[in-house]
Amino acid sequence: MDEGGCAFAVIFAFPRSRKTFYATAFMSLEAIYQTIPHRPPFLFIDEIVEVTENGATAKRTIREDEPQFEGHYPGNPIMPGVLLCESIFQTAAIFLANHKVDADTDSTTLTPVLVRIQDARFKRMVKPGDEITIEVTYLSQVHQFHQLRGRVLKDGKPAMMLECTLALIDEGKAAKEA
């Protein structure tokens, strides 16, 4: 495994972009830390299984000792739907960092910001002990706004789904302009 935590990577070059794209077959927690600013207890993905040209797939095991279960709900813990949404947003941020960042942009200064949530639907409860798969599919881009579709699967069946728009805000550029 290399220093970035990627066990396997295939390099693709896109003719319209100066960006080299890595189709990652596995991304460790350390590599996730290097890619997005989220940290426990507000990190809701354990590993990235795959990042492709069109999307990303992540996994997460829901643990009993997570702080949200102290109040949601004692004696009958259920993973809050907004945190399932957040797992999609974090997977989307990793996809964008690996695929939609220009070669001349320092990705360490980019912050993924949620702009819009559309059509969120919740189908199945997720509880401690469940392993979920988070899938994100890229839909379109208008300027710095990226539209994606996401879903959380439990036992191979949809637990929830949504569409969202994220923007990549360049904090480094904003600081230089200030």
- Which residue numbers are catalytic? 72
Quickly tell me which residue has 């813990």 as its tokens.
77
DSSP per-residue letters across 31-65: HHHHH-S--TTS---SEEEEE-SSEEEEEEEPPTT
Residue 19 DSSP class: -
Q: Are β-strands 145-154 and 55-61 bridged in parallel, bridged antiparallel, or unpaired?
A: unpaired
Half-sphere exposure of 72 (CA within 13 A, CB side): 15
Query: Do the Cβ atoms of 12 and 21 come closer than 8 Å?
Result: yes
C-alpha radius of gyration, the chain, whole number:
16
